[in-house]
Structure 1
Amino acid sequence: MSQSSDQMELREEDITKHYARAVAMLEGFDHTPRIGKGAAEAPVEKSSGLGTRRRFRSTTPGLVTKRTARPEGVQLIARVEASDGDDPLVSSSQAGVLQALRRAIAISLAVAENYAEQTELADLKRANLEGGVPRGKEDAFSELLSAEALVTAHVFGNAAAFLLASMGGEVTVEVGEVDELLTESGQMALYGALWELDQDIAAHASDDSKLVATVAAFAEQLMEKAALRAQSAVRLEPFLAASWRVEADDFSVQGFTPALRSKGSKLTMTFKKPNEVVGNHIAKYQALRLSKMLMAYDFEKRLNPFADLGGFIFTFMGDGKPGTGKTTLIQMMAGLLNDYCQVAGYPFRYQNLSTDNIDSYQGKSGQNAKAFINNIIDPNAIGFGTIDDIDQLAGKRGDRQSSAGQLEITAVLMESFAGANTVVRGNCTFGMFSNYPENVDDALRQRAGARFLVDGPKTRDDYIDILALLMGKNHDIPLGEHELYAAQEIKTAVAKSFEAHSKPHEAGLLEVFDRVHSEIGELDTIAKMGTYLKGIQEADERFTGRAIKNITDAVKVRAMDFELPDEWMENPELFLFKGYDDKKAMISELRVPITTEMVIQEINRYADSEFRYADKSDEVAIENMVREFGRQEEAKKRYLEGQG
């Protein structure tokens, strides 16, 4: 894949010139831990007559040692070579890990050097060596060194995780949070990171598979810690605004975003064809269009024309009663994307965040959710992430029944879907599904930009179609007077479904609509529609500015009310392989004008869902309080009887 126009090339000579320094670090250095607690034992070198390869003794039980720099310091090459016991030869995995670490250190030093040259840090370093930092520049020098340390640590972890991805297997290792993240300078950041990595290898790497898993897990934890620290750091704008590409490794540095390898997950789920989804006309139509929208993503520009023009669905909520077809809808959309990506040769990732990701260990549930997000948003792949039964997975704040793990997942999803650092490139989408959306935290639910009402089969024709579909062909029962699947003709069905939202469905919203309509007449101007929105807010205070944004996004989606032609998906040369500007122009030609009918329908569609959720949520809360009062009365009665 060629270099993106907004990326700078990190030249090979700029990386390899740091190899000697990287090897010196891996061979050994002294380090006194400042934050982390040492757990690894000191390496012991054999006598000169037995070779120079170092071995490690187990720590003597009960022996308390002083936390000082070890005489032999941190010797990662020796540590890695000793990870498989007494084998005198270096294994291919050990060699691969050391090569990856050397390469990752060199890349991090090269990027840090670029950062220093882009800022005044390089000049201040030279001045410091020549006689001292100029007066008045001391604070700036300190802040720039801290920023350089975070850049160095994150790029090192990022590159190491990326380079080791192809060596990973089924074995996983939990190394815990990184403690020794030092921010005095880039070099100190590497010393602290390598010291802690040495500790983790000693503690966890008992064979080659665990060695690779340990280093990879450490790299991911280092990235996460550096990115978290960077949220409150200063002088990082030059790093965040730039991006670098290492052509030889197909590796890119994009701020504090992990660069995952461009490989897709092999799906083993059962796919469904669109004609196998009966009813759910609007939800099916939007899923079909969203699947094709994702395929418009441009890997060179790292942006989707739909995200650029407006009308891309980054998050959506699919809700409906049990058995109405939510799982079938997921299987249909995943199947379409899988087929499209196979034709185009694009990597595709699908992943579901399930209740298995809730962990009893503090912080682990949040880590699982963040790993899920990072896997899907990887700009090197087309991604589709689902959170099925989100009401069970993500906790509702203020609900005493929500566990700490559930609340961790809620916090991660909220920050990832509409946080300060959220970037929508248009290469992925997230679907939240629930039978009971009223139990989802209000703020998290409002981060769903689109609403897919999964209401299942509705008409007589729908029920005939689904019966015929599920009966299969192994019978001789005649169909009778019915044109099979004619009712599922998507454009006709969708048009009727959208028209049905010209007036609200929920009683509370219909009352607001009728009152506003009687006061100001037809809602045919921006001012009148704004008055209607204010009336909705007065009826439900949870109808905030985020709701308006979601509505306007949905209107923009309606302006893209067209399907990309099937032949564009079947023959990638017609559209998918064209340049970004060509794709954008082709899409722009297909756009339709925004009408007042579209706006009113989308206001009603969104507000209906909020009123539906709110009514159910309030009713559930009331029922819970009634049960609680009943328990209290029964407990009081039994208590008084016992006292008597």
Structure 2
Amino acid sequence: MSLTSDQMELREEDIRKHYDAAAQMLAGFDHTPRIAKGKDVAPAAERSSGIGTRRRFRSTTPGLVTRSTARPEGVHLVERIEGAGVEDPLVSPVQANVLHGLRRALAIALAVGETFSEAAGLADLKRDNLAGSLSADKKTAFSELLAAEALAASYVFANTTSFLLAPHLAETQVEVGEVEEILTDNAQLALHGALWELDQDIAVLVSSEDRLVACACAFAEQLMEKLALRAQNAPRLEAFVGARWKVEADDLTIDGFTPARAAKSSTLAMSFKKPNEVVGNHIAKYQAMKLAKMLMAYDFERRMNPFAEMGGFIFTFMGDGAPGTGKTTLIQMMAGMIHDYCQMAGYAFRYQNFGIDNIDSYQGKSGQNAKSFVANVLDPQVIGFGTIDDIDQIAGKRGDRQSSAGQQEVTAVFMEAFAGANTVVRGNCTFGMFSNYPENVDDALRQRAGARFLVDGPQTREDYIDILALLMGKNHDIALGDHDLFEAQAIQTAVTASFESHNRPHEEGLLKVFEHVHGQVGDLDTIAKMGTYLKAIQEVDPRFTGRAIKNITDAVKVRAMDFELPDEWMEQPDLFLTKDYDTKKAMIAELRVPITTEMVVQEINRYADSEFRYADKSDEAAIEAMVRDMGRTEAAKQRYLKGKT
């Protein structure tokens, strides 16, 4: 992949010149832990002497000693890794991959540290300090720049380690806990602290070879997270966070304290569905089909999607409906469409689902799982689709005593990721939240869903005939009868009818508000009249806040893009997908339609209907629960009194 305009090349010769220093670090060094407490581990076992099948690195540092609470510890990562869980005197492919990955990561970290040092003026201060001519007024800047270099080099080491070893990960998982030995005196000491703690984790947690890569990657992820938090308040990091380096040999992009992800597709083990196999759910199906094509407009060079810039891109949406109405089928259809489009275009597609099994009893782990899920889908090098099925069971309501700590962690992560201060919508991915009981989702999290897909399943006689014929298959001789199969599923006709049905609200509570306002101001044909309607809704439902208005206007912008990108644009990438960003933006602009008052009113009603529906269900569920409790109390009283007589 070629360099983009905002990238600098990190030259291979500048990396390889640090290989010897990196190899020496892995071979052995002294380190006395300053912050972390050393675990009770045995020294790294030396391999049998006389095995001359490979080059062995030996430390040139004299006086290396084994673990002691009073003296430095000798860290020998080469020997630790070579002895990890196996008795074979030869280095295994897994061990070799880890060692090569660590050496490469250290060399890249040292190269970036050197580049940062030159760019930030630290190199000159180092020379002055070495010569004893560093003036007193520069000592503070010198210390701050050393700390900045330490943070940058450590993060690049962890980031590159995770990136290079990720392709070797299997299903095995290892919990390493929090990284503690974060040192910022200088870059070398920082790397020594990181390698010392990695050595400790491997010694304690790697009982078999299949855990080695998992341990190294888990450690790297924890180290990255800790360093990124530390960097938020650290000074003099501009030369690092303001630059982007590309390592061509590894296809690695170093972008400040942003994790690099290998641009590889997910291996999908799901049964894809075609649009005609989704019966009913016309608006949800139509918007899902549009969104699948919108994602394909993403420009990997510019790292932006014209739809996200022009308005009309759906970053988050919620699909709700009763059990069995087709939410899973909708996911299968959308994932299948994006997968097929990406294969035709040669793009990496990553699908990931966050399920109930990601909620962990280990404190903080659920939040980490949620962060990892979000980061994987957000990766700007891929087209991403993330789903959260049964979100009412996964994300807990704040203040709900029945929600576990893990569920509360997940809620906090999703709220920040979907509409937080640092949320950047590039247009390369979308998140879908699905629930049978959306009224049980935290109000603030639910309102972060920019679009609402009502998944209500088959509704008409024609829908039920179509779904019966579809599910019956072809292994029968029963006549179809007087019916045009799937004609009712003709998407444009059905969608037009569905949108027009929202000229008036569907929910009884909202209909009363609508009729009251309509009786006062007449047709809602001006912004002032629509604002009056919105205020009237807010007076009835205080949860109808400014975020609701934003979601409605976003939905209106989506309607302005009320067109499907032509199928041939997907099937023949040269017609659209491979064109430059500005050309794609101009082609989309030509298809855009004007916004009408009908669109705005329909979207207000669609969104408000969903909120009233959730509120009614929530209130009804609470009332039913109270009635059951009162009935139990009354029955208990009668049984108690009967027993007394």
**TM-score surpassing 0.5?**
yes
- How far is the alpha carbon of 1:9 from its aligned partner? 1.6
Q: Does 2:20 align with 1:20?
A: yes
Contact 2:48-2:89 within 8 A present in 1 as well: no
Would the alpha carbon gap of residues 48 and 368 (structure 1) be closer, same or farther in structure 2, given more than 3 Å must change?
Answer: closer
**Secondary structure, aligned partner of 2:384:** strand
Residues of 1 paired with 2:576 and 2:414: CA distance?
Answer: 33
Which moves more between the two structures, 582-591 or 229-238? 229-238
Aligned to 2:61: none
Aligned residue type for 1:15:
I
Residues of 1 paired with 2:151 and 2:527: CA distance?
Answer: 48
Residues of 2 paired with 1:132 and 1:170: CA distance?
Answer: 55
Q: CA RMSD in A?
A: 2.7
**Secondary structure, aligned partner of 1:103:** helix
Residues of 2 paired with 1:352 and 1:402: CA distance?
Answer: 21
**Secondary structure, aligned partner of 2:254:** strand
Residues of 2 paired with 1:359 and 1:47: CA distance?
Answer: 42
Residues of 2 paired with 1:226 and 1:641: CA distance?
Answer: 67
Residues of 2 paired with 1:289 and 1:596: CA distance?
Answer: 22
Residues of 2 paired with 1:538 and 1:138: CA distance?
Answer: 60
Aligned residue type for 2:311:
G
Aligned residue type for 2:353:
N
- How far is the alpha carbon of 1:45 from its aligned partner? 5.7
- How far is the alpha carbon of 1:491 from its aligned partner? 0.8
Which moves more between the two structures, 242-251 or 199-208? 199-208
Q: Does 2:281 align with 1:280?
A: yes
Summarize the alignment of residues 322-401 of structure 1 with structure 2, pairs less than 5 Å apart.
322-401=323-402
Residues of 1 paired with 2:170 and 2:475: CA distance?
Answer: 44
Summarize the alignment of residues 374-523 of structure 1 with structure 2, pairs less than 5 Å apart.
374-523=375-524
**Secondary structure, aligned partner of 1:89:** coil
- How far is the alpha carbon of 1:273 from its aligned partner? 0.7
Aligned to 2:29: 29
Aligned residue type for 2:293:
K
Summarize the alignment of residues 36-435 of structure 1 with structure 2, pairs less than 5 Å apart.
36-39=36-39, 40-43=41-44, 66-70=68-72, 73-131=74-132, 134=135, 139-435=140-436
Which moves more between the two structures, 331-340 or 615-624? 615-624
Would the alpha carbon gap of residues 502 and 49 (structure 1) be closer, same or farther in structure 2, given more than 3 Å must change?
Answer: closer
Would the alpha carbon gap of residues 504 and 133 (structure 1) be closer, same or farther in structure 2, given more than 3 Å must change?
Answer: farther
Unaligned residue ranges in structure 2 (runs of 5+): 59-65
Residues of 1 paired with 2:138 and 2:31: CA distance?
Answer: 29
Aligned residue type for 2:415:
M
Residues of 2 paired with 1:506 and 1:234: CA distance?
Answer: 54
**Secondary structure, aligned partner of 1:30:** strand
- How far is the alpha carbon of 1:196 from its aligned partner? 0.3
Residues of 2 paired with 1:215 and 1:46: CA distance?
Answer: 21
Residues of 1 paired with 2:131 and 2:522: CA distance?
Answer: 77
Q: Does 2:580 align with 1:549?
A: no
Would the alpha carbon gap of residues 19 and 626 (structure 1) be closer, same or farther in structure 2, given more than 3 Å must change?
Answer: same
Contact 1:42-1:70 within 8 A present in 2 as well: no
Cα deviation digits, residues 618-641 of structure 1 (max 9, x gap): 232333344445556667788899
Aligned to 1:597: 598
Cα deviation digits, residues 537-563 of structure 1 (max 9, x gap): 222221122212211211111111111
- How far is the alpha carbon of 1:608 from its aligned partner? 1.2
Residues of 2 paired with 1:635 and 1:326: CA distance?
Answer: 41
Aligned residue type for 2:26:
L
Residues of 2 paired with 1:571 and 1:446: CA distance?
Answer: 38
Aligned to 2:533: 532
Would the alpha carbon gap of residues 418 and 67 (structure 1) be closer, same or farther in structure 2, given more than 3 Å must change?
Answer: farther
- How far is the alpha carbon of 1:172 from its aligned partner? 2.6
Residues of 2 paired with 1:363 and 1:518: CA distance?
Answer: 54
Which moves more between the two structures, 361-370 or 148-157? 148-157
Aligned to 2:580: 579
Would the alpha carbon gap of residues 464 and 48 (structure 1) be closer, same or farther in structure 2, given more than 3 Å must change?
Answer: closer
- How far is the alpha carbon of 1:48 from its aligned partner? 8.5
Aligned to 1:61: none
Cα deviation digits, residues 215-254 of structure 1 (max 9, x gap): 1221122122222333444444553343221111001122
Would the alpha carbon gap of residues 543 and 207 (structure 1) be closer, same or farther in structure 2, given more than 3 Å must change?
Answer: same
- How far is the alpha carbon of 1:571 from its aligned partner? 1.2
Residues of 2 paired with 1:65 and 1:5: CA distance?
Answer: 50
- How far is the alpha carbon of 1:173 from its aligned partner? 2.1
Aligned residue type for 2:25:
M
Paired residues, number: 635
- How far is the alpha carbon of 1:642 from its aligned partner? 9.1
- How far is the alpha carbon of 1:456 from its aligned partner? 1.0
Aligned to 1:588: 589
Contact 2:7-2:244 within 8 A present in 1 as well: yes
Would the alpha carbon gap of residues 629 and 112 (structure 1) be closer, same or farther in structure 2, given more than 3 Å must change?
Answer: farther
- How far is the alpha carbon of 1:84 from its aligned partner? 4.6
Contact 1:46-1:53 within 8 A present in 2 as well: no
Cα deviation digits, residues 55-81 of structure 1 (max 9, x gap): 9xxxxxxxx98534435x212122222
Would the alpha carbon gap of residues 453 and 37 (structure 1) be closer, same or farther in structure 2, given more than 3 Å must change?
Answer: same
Residues of 2 paired with 1:435 and 1:3: CA distance?
Answer: 46
Aligned to 1:2: 2
Which moves more between the two structures, 622-631 or 474-483? 622-631
- How far is the alpha carbon of 1:508 from its aligned partner? 2.2
Residues of 2 paired with 1:436 and 1:103: CA distance?
Answer: 49
- How far is the alpha carbon of 1:394 from its aligned partner? 1.1
**Secondary structure, aligned partner of 2:385:** strand
Cα deviation digits, residues 179-207 of structure 1 (max 9, x gap): 21223333332111111001011112344
Which moves more between the two structures, 575-584 or 238-247? 238-247
Aligned residue type for 2:23:
V
Residues of 2 paired with 1:307 and 1:621: CA distance?
Answer: 39
Aligned residue type for 1:239:
F
Residues of 2 paired with 1:604 and 1:142: CA distance?
Answer: 59
Give the TM-score normalised by structure 1. 0.92
Unaligned residue ranges in structure 1 (runs of 5+): 56-63
Which moves more between the two structures, 589-598 or 45-54? 45-54
Residues of 2 paired with 1:528 and 1:129: CA distance?
Answer: 73
- How far is the alpha carbon of 1:17 from its aligned partner? 2.7
Aligned residue type for 1:588:
A
Contact 2:47-2:79 within 8 A present in 1 as well: no
- How far is the alpha carbon of 1:480 from its aligned partner? 2.3
**Secondary structure, aligned partner of 2:176:** coil
Residues of 2 paired with 1:232 and 1:642: CA distance?
Answer: 68
Contact 1:54-1:78 within 8 A present in 2 as well: no
Residues of 1 paired with 2:170 and 2:364: CA distance?
Answer: 24
**Secondary structure, aligned partner of 1:466:** helix
Contact 2:23-2:57 within 8 A present in 1 as well: no
Residues of 2 paired with 1:137 and 1:45: CA distance?
Answer: 46
- The percent identity for this pair of structures is 72
Give the TM-score normalised by structure 2. 0.92
